[in-house]
Amino acid sequence: MEYLKIDGAMGEGGGQVLRLATTFSVIQQRPVKVFNIRAGRRTPGLMRQHVSTLQVLAKVFGADLGGATEGSSEVSFAPGKPGLRELSIDMGTAASITLVLQAVVPAAALSRASLSLELRGGTDVPWSPTFDYFETVVREAFKAVGMTFEASAARRGYYPKGGGRVTASVESCDSLKPLNPTGAAGGEVSVVSRCARLPSHVAERQLTAAVCVLEEAGLRPERTKVTSEDAESPGSSILACRVGGGSFLGADALGARGRPSEDVGTTAASKLVKDVKTGARLDSNAADMVIPLLSLASGPSAVRISSVSPHLETGVALARAFTGCRFETRKDADGWAVSVLPEGEPKAGDSAPR
pLDDT, averaged across the chain: 93
**pTM summary value:** 0.93
Length of the chain: 354
Catalytic residues: 311
Amino acid at site 274:
K
Mean pLDDT of 328-335: 88
Q: Given pLDDT bands bounded at 50, 70 and 90, which one contains residue 40?
A: confident
**What residues contact 212, with CB distance under 8 A and at least 6 apart?**
266, 269
Tabulate helix, strand, coil % of the chain (nearest 5). 35, 30, 40
What is the reported pLDDT for 158? 97
Distance CA 132, CA 138 (A): 9
Selection from 72, 148, 81, 156 nearest residue 120 by Cα: 156
Selection from 217, 352, 187 nearest residue 280 by Cα: 187
- What is the edge-to-edge ordering of all strands in the sheet holding 74-78? 4-7, 32-35, 74-78, 64-66
Q: What is the pLDDT of residues 122-148, one digit of tens each?
A: 999 999 999 999 999 999 999 999 999
CB of 87 within 8 A of CB of 56?
A: yes
State how far the alpha carbon of 206 is from the alpha carbons of 96, 130, 152, in Å. 23, 15, 23
Question: Hey, what domains does the chain have and what are their CATH numbers?
Answer: 4-180+282-341 (3.65.10.20), 188-276 (3.30.360.20)
Whether 227 shows a pLDDT value over 70: the answer reads: yes
Mean pLDDT of 253-264: 97
Whether 333 shows a pLDDT value over 90: the answer reads: no
What is the reported pLDDT for 350? 44
State how far the alpha carbon of 345 is from the alpha carbons of 26, 110, 300, 339, in Å. 17, 18, 15, 18
Mean pLDDT of 53-75: 94
